[in-house]
């Protein structure tokens, strides 16, 4: 069985607020724990009216405190927004409170626009992304045992060896993950363009490390499961509308589903969104099962990261319950687990 995990953006739905979005995230995590999901990850986004997980480490603590066995982590923390020491202290705190349950996924995108990046009070420069490899190494060092003469240490954090993941949607993070011997998560759920090349590059060039002795690929997949194909497509329309708003520069709260999404976009917008969301399993249980099995057969991920921006919370819980049942039934190569 291919292990399956869950990525939640803590969506703020139209007519609701961030507090309810966070409570819904905790409820979803508790359901995910009972349904056998391995991890529950939250993502850092800023200045996004429809996403409540900006203070990602705080929300991870809230979710970890309300669960008991599922791993909780970031998918991801956008490291260019922070100093490595601050992230080491935050996740050292989380790992001290919830030992053996915290993951730290790292991305190199800012997760925001330039104006928001400035408001985060991180110095902006043309080479900020180029320091990402050095920042990852610095962060990793803060989680190692303290070295003789080390003047700056993460307290808590030092010696905890919090597991790191690198996230990406291009070849850069694939190459860096392989060189550092870290697990790699590809953002195929919204940017699948370089997925095949990135997975191949990572697996071909992987070098074993203290953290990981063989390559481990996690791939994102949107899942919108419902009683019928029509209802699944209808649920999917909320995510499609969110992407449409991003294309038009008008991001907002997650909108309720519509019966006919084609009435809302033009041909070029539709093509862009279809390409962005190509890695999606949408429809009835049988339809979703077939799509997920094709995805696993084709790419052979070591782990699936399932996600689904669904407007109605009850429908979201049901979709992830159906997805868990389907994931357990998938045929896949036997692979060692990564806890």
DSSP string, 163-205: PEEEEESSHHHHHHHHHHT--EEE-TTT--TTHHHHHHHHHHH
Which domains can be identified in the chain, with CATH numbers? 4-220+300-329 (3.20.20.30)
C-alpha torsion 153→132→124→18, nearest 10: -80
Quote the CA–CA distance of 234 and 229 in Å, as a whole number. 9
Band of residue 337 on the pLDDT scale cut at 50, 70, 90: low
Given a cut of 80, whether residue 53 has pLDDT beyond it is yes
Lowest mean pLDDT among 107-116, 152-161, 273-282, 295-304: 107-116
pLDDT of residue 176: 97
Q: What is the pLDDT of residue 112?
A: 62
The mean pLDDT value for 221-228 works out to 98
Using CA atoms, how far residue 146 sits from 91, 135, 151, 155, 227, in Å, is 17, 18, 9, 11, 54
Q: What 8-state DSSP symbol labels residue 71?
A: E
Tens of pLDDT, residues 64-119: 999 999 999 999 999 999 999 999 999 999 999 999 999 999 999 865 677 777 77
Question: Does residue 320 register a pLDDT over 50?
Answer: yes
Contact, 11 vs 49, CB < 8 A? no
Residues 6+ apart with CB under 8 A from 230: none
| For residues 240-248, average pLDDT | 96
Q: How far apart are CA 45 and CA 138, in angstroms?
A: 23
d(CA 221, CA 219): 7
| pTM of the full structure | 0.94
pLDDT at 126 > cutoff 50: no
* Model pLDDT for residues 17-51, shown as the tens digit of each residue: 999 999 999 999 999 999 999 999 999 999 999 99
**pLDDT score of 127 more than 80:** no
Distance CA(329)–CA(309), nearest Å, equals 23
* Predicted pLDDT at 129: 58
Is the Cβ–Cβ distance between 327 and 281 less than 8 Å?
A: no
pLDDT of residue 144: 96
152's tokens: 């700056």
The values of phi and psi at residue 268, to 5°, are -70, -40
Banded model confidence at residue 121, pLDDT cuts 50, 70, 90:
low
Average pLDDT over residues 272-284: 98
Distance of CA 233 to the CA centre of its chain: 22
Q: Indicate the Cα dihedral angle 321, 324, 330, 336, nearest 10°.
A: 180
Helix (H, G, I), strand (E, B) or coil at 123: coil
Question: What mean pLDDT comes out for the span 178-197?
Answer: 97
Could you tell me if 55 and 22 are in contact, meaning their C-beta atoms sit under 8 angstroms apart?
no
Q: 164 pairs with which residues across the strands? A: 104
CA distances from 296 to 148, 222, 292 (A): 47, 13, 6
What is the H or E stretch that residue 23 is in? helix 18-34
Q: How confident is the model at residue 306 (pLDDT cuts 50, 70, 90)?
A: very high
């Amino acid at each position: 069985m291919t292990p399956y995990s869950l990525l939640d953006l803590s969506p703020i739905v139209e007519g609701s607020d961030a507090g309810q979005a966070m409570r819904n995230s905790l409820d979803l995590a508790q359901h995910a724990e009972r349904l056998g999901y391995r991890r529950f990850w939250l993502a850092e986004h800023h200045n996004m009216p429809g996403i409540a997980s900006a203070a990602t480490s705080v929300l991870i603590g809230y979710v970890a405190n309300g669960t008991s066995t599922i791993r909780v982590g970031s998918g991801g923390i956008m490291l260019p927004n922070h100093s490595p020491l601050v992230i080491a202290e935050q996740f050292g705190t989380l790992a001290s409170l919830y030992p053996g349950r915290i993951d730290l996924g790292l991305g190199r995108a800012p997760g925001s626009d330039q104006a928001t990046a400035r408001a985060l009070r991180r110095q902006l420069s043309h080479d900020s992304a180029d320091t990402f490899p050095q920042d990852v190494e610095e962060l990793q060092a803060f989680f190692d045992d303290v070295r003789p003469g080390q003047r700056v240490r993460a307290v808590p954090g030092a010696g905890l060896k919090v597991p790191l993941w690198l996230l990406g949607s291009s070849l850069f993070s694939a190459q860096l993950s392989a060189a550092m011997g870290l697990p790699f998560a590809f953002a195929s759920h919204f940017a699948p363009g370089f997925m095949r090349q990135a997975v191949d590059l990572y697996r071909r060039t992987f070098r074993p490390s203290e953290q990981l002795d063989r390559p481990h690929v996690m791939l994102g997949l949107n899942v919108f499961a419902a009683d019928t194909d029509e209802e699944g497509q209808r649920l999917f329309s909320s995510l499609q509308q969110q992407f449409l708003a991003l294309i038009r520069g008008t991001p907002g709260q997650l909108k309720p589903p519509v019966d006919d999404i084609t009435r809302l976009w033009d041909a070029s917008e539709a093509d862009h969104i279809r390409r962005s969301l190509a890695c999606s399993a949408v429809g009835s249980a049988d339809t979703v099962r077939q799509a997920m099995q094709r995805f696993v057969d084709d790419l052979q991920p070591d782990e699936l990261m399932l996600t689904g921006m669904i407007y109605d919370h009850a429908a979201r819980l049901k979709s992830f319950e159906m997805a868990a049942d389907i994931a357990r039934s998938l045929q896949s190569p036997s692979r060692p687990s990564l806890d």
